Every structure is written in structure tokens, then in C-alpha cells.
A and B are shown apart, each in its own frame.
Chain A
Amino acid sequence: MKVEFNFNYPLPYKSKHGSVYDLHKRNMCADLCDDSRKVNSEHYSGSFTGKEKAAAKFSDRLLKNLIDGCNNHTVIIQNLWALGLAILPRPIAIMLLPDPKRKNNKDKMAAACHGIASGLVGFGFASAIMYPLGVASKKIKDGDAKIIQERFAKITNEMAQAGTITKEELLKDTKIVGEKFLEPFGEFRDGKLVKLNKALNFDRMSKALDMAPDTFVFGIAKAMLTIALIPPIMKYLFGEGKQQKTEPAKVEGGQK
């Protein structure tokens, strides 16, 4: 007797993610792409419309990055928004202003270039100088400040009034900050906590301190650079040669 096993069976039609019988799997084909290492990218057949995973993930990540940026690199996001406005809408709006006799055309050009220059300078400054400062303050906020905030969150008013909590206990395991860092959180007497500061909003306080250099120190430098940048931009955009450079900008009297 000869028994023959038909091993060489023709498999049913195999789709990109499993056979046609794996209907439940086919529905999840975009799900599989959660982990890019598991699924070959050339097999990806997910849709980028509706609420499919890939598109939804991209927009989520964009929003997440934007919010993180607002929290940690406020100045950069601020200047990014300003740059977006200054590159297109602002020059267009200025050039479209009614001016029937075309008397002030050059002044308008200068004003538009002033906007573009200020946007570029602001964003350049923010990215080059404020980024490392933002990273540095994030190191303190995510490290030492977080530890201390968690410790203070557990302390009640009664515990504080008892006066048993020392500065050393609160500063344990911290790397960078010193004793003075604790002062905004409450009142101390002889190295011991006496009273909690209820009004403290640490995030906002640190935000003000993070934004301060851009606001006060670099504001003047940025304005100088902006005025210096107007003639080259004017030349590049409108092909204007020598002319009175800064005076229209000074007269403008607007912001930045």
C-alpha cells in the first residue's frame, strides 16, 4: 500500500497580513504597524484617512510636541508663531493696505521687510540662545524640582506647623539645587520648615524666569539686528538699491 501525503499543498491566497481567512487580522492590519520592527514596512497597507493609526499617531505626536514646546521652550514657540506671521501674512497685509496714489510705497516695503527681519532675528535668537537655556532649566525642573515638589505635596499644614521637617530631609537625593531653592516653597526657621506657601505655582514661576533673558537682555540686541537686516531683505525681495534705510522703520513705531 502506498500512502501519499500531499504536503506540497497550495496555500490559500495570502494577503499582506495573513491569509484571506484571517479576517479578524485583516481588520487590524494597520494595528500591526504599531511596532515597525515586527512588520515589514513594504507590507503596510494602512490608510492615512479617518482614524487609522498612523495618521492619528502623527497628529497626536505633533500636538504633544507643541505642548511640550510650550512648557519647556516657550520662547521658541512664541517666535515660531511670530515668524509664521511675519514671513507671509504681515508683508502681504501691509502691501495690500489702501494707498491709492502709491505715495508711500517705499515706506510700506520697508515696513514689510522690517516684519520679515524681526521674525527671522527673533526665531534665530530663540533657537540659538534660548534652546540650551531651556534644556538646562528642564534638567532642574524634571530632576531636583520634581523631587522637591513631590515631597512638599505630601506635607500638610499641621506637619509644617509642628516644625520637624528639616532642610536636609527635603534636599535629599538632589544634585544641583541648594538650600535657597526651598525658600519659595515655605518659611524656614533654624533650618526647619514652619509654614507652607500656598500661593506658589512653581511651573509659572519657573516660566517667568525662563522667559526673562529673552524679554529683557536680548530685546535690545534683537531690535538692533532687525534694523540692520532691513536693507538686504529689501534688496532681495523688492530689488531696491541704496535708499534711506532705517528711517521709515523708526517712524513706524510698531512692535519689534
Chain B
Amino acid sequence: MNVTLNTVNLNNSYKYTKNQNKRQATPSFTSVAELPTKSGFLKPFDVAMDKFTDFIAKQYTKRVYESPVAKWLSRREDASQIVNHMQMLGSVVVSGMYMTQTLRNKNLEDETKKKLSINQAFTWLAATAGAYWLDDYLAQSWDNNVSLKYANKFLKDNNFIQNFKDYNTQLENEFKADIKNADKKFKPATTLKYVEKFIKNSALESDLKGLDVLKSLVIFGTIYRFISPVAVTPIANWVGDKFFAKKPEKDVSFEAKQPEQPQKTETENVVLERPNMAKFAGKFKKSA
């Protein structure tokens, strides 16, 4: 008699593969020491950098943190705007440098110097006012659309947004009930303040502070480094034309060259229409 026990059935193979998966997931052997994930090649550099930063921390950072300036800063109440103020001060330094350079310029007349530096100061003033206004204008929507959502994602709490809104409506009702505040506009509490008051999660608090810094950097950076220089260029060109145009050697515009070259080839025409290709124009001149 020949009996065959065919053990291949779905149940058995399920168990078998399941165990195999388990074995795969939890290897029986783990190395004694942890496997190095970082290359040792740059280790000397890392050690040197560590020592160097230790040196800076002891010799420089510590002294700055213990200076009277730190004490003065700690008493200021507009600390939440400090990143804005620092960027504004940075632009004061740079604008001031341009102004002094203009005033020292020997090629310019006194009146021109004054006009130019007043122009620079006005540019700075407009940009700064615009940046502070935009920062204030966007604060509320940034808080609602970025900070609040980030905090909600961080906490994974379904009731967080509702609780926050309830707290704000409660604050608003209290604000309106007070007769003193009749003419004033209600300013709702920020996510950061709510978290500091009720949730007390230091990691989330520092992240929210970082988001606020990001907002300030983006707004001030865009205005100081993009909008203001772009907007100023036509004005500067106009001023430059007015004050520098007297000197003939500086008249390098393409229009001025046109009468000298009555016969133009096709390629030169293209170049003149597209002055960005002046690079090629140089080559053509050489060959001719």
C-alpha cells in the first residue's frame, strides 16, 4: 500500500510563508556592535570642526550672551518682531554704505550727490515700510493656513483646530464685552500663544517659532532683495541718464552706434534687435 500525505494546502503554506516573513523581519543574528552608517573618512574633519565650534562657543558666543546687549534685549517686549528688526538694520547698513559712497564720489557735483543719496534713502524707507506692512497684513493668514495646520499635523489631534477656534471666539466675546475696546480692532491669539498656554509641547513651540521666522525671512527677503531693486532700476536709470549723459565716452547705447554703420549685415541686425546677444556681436566685429 502506498499512502501519500499531501501536506500542500492553503493553510499550511500560509503558516509557512508567514513564519518565513517573520524570520525575514527579525533576523536571528544581529551584529555585536551597531553597523556604522556614517563614513569614517571625514572623521578628522568632524573632530576638528567640533573643537573649533567649542572654541567659538567659549570665546565668542558665551561673551555675547553675557554682554549688556543681551540684558537690554531681554527687557524688550517686541521680541517677536526681532527677526524683522534685524533684517531692517542690515538693510540700514547696506543702504548707508551706498549713500556714503555716493557722497564721497568725486566725479559728481554736490547737488547731484545730495539728490542721489536722498533718492537712496527714500527707496530704503519705502521698502522698509512696505515690508513691515506686508508682514503685518499676512500674519493672520499665515497663522491660519500654515502654523495652525502644522500644529494640527504635529499633534494628530482632531479637536485641536476646533478648540483653538473656540478659544479665539471666547477671547473675542470678552474683548467686545469690554467698553474700553469699542473703537479697537480685535486681534485673535496666534497658534503659538495657544500652544504655549495650553499644550506646552516644547518641540512644537520651537517649530512654530521657526515657521514665524521663515515667514519673516521670506517677506523681508522678497521685498529687500527682489521687489525694491527691480522697482528702483528704472528710476536709477533715469537719474543716471540725467546726471551722467553729459560725458560722451559713456554714451554706449546701441542707438548711438547706428549712424556710424550705415551698411548692416543681417546678423548684425539681429544682434541690434536683441542686445542680449552682444556676446556674438563682439565676435562678428573681430572677424570683420
Number of interface residues of B (CB under 8 A): 103
A132-B241 CB under 8 A given contacts A70-B217, A180-B66, A256-B91: no
Interface size of A by Cβ–Cβ distance < 8 Å?
A: 107
Query: Smallest Cβ distance from B83 to chain A, in angstroms?
Result: 6
Given contacts A254-B123, A256-B94, contact A133 B61 (CB under 8 A): yes
**By the criterion CB–CB under 8 Å, are A139 and B233 in contact?**
no
Closest CB in chain A relative to B78 CB, distance in Å:
9
Closest Cβ of chain A to B71, distance in Å, is 5
Report whether A253 and B66 are in contact in the complex, using a CB–CB cutoff of 8 Å. Answer: no
Cβ contacts under 8 Å, A251 to chain B: 116, 236, 239-240, 244
Q: Report which of A4, A105, A115, A241 forms a contact with B5, defined as CB distance below 8 A.
A: A4
Which of the residues A107, A197, A220, A248 comes within 8 Å of B74, measured between beta carbons? A197
> What secondary structure prevails in chain A residues at the interface with B?
helix
0/1 string, A209-223, CB within 8 A of B gives 1: 101101110011011
Are B7 and A205 in contact (CB-based, < 8 A)? no
Are A140 and B74 within 8 A (Cβ)?
A: no
Q: Which of A189-207 contact B (CB under 8 A)?
A: 197, 199-207
- Which residues of chain B have C-beta atoms less than 8 A from A2's C-beta? 1-3
Assess A107 versus B236: contact at CB under 8 Å? Given A85-B222, A184-B70: yes
**Given contact pairs A180-B66, A254-B232, A9 touches B73 in the complex (Cβ within 8 A):** no
Chain A residues within CB distance 8 Å of chain B: 1-7, 9-12, 14, 17-19, 21-22, 25, 32, 37-38, 66-71, 74, 77-78, 81-82, 85-86, 89-90, 93-95, 97-99, 101-108, 111, 114-115, 118-119, 132-133, 135-137, 139-140, 145, 176-178, 180-181, 183-185, 197, 199-209, 211-212, 214-216, 219-220, 222-223, 238-241, 243-244, 247-248, 250-256
**Partner-A contacts on B (CB < 8 A):** 1-8, 10, 12-14, 16-18, 21, 24-25, 27, 35, 49, 52-54, 56-58, 60-62, 64-66, 69-71, 73-77, 79-80, 82-83, 85-87, 89-91, 93-95, 97-98, 101-102, 105, 107, 116, 119-120, 123-124, 127, 206-207, 209-211, 213-214, 217-218, 221-222, 224-226, 228-230, 232-234, 236-237, 239-241, 244, 250, 252-255, 275-276, 278-280, 282
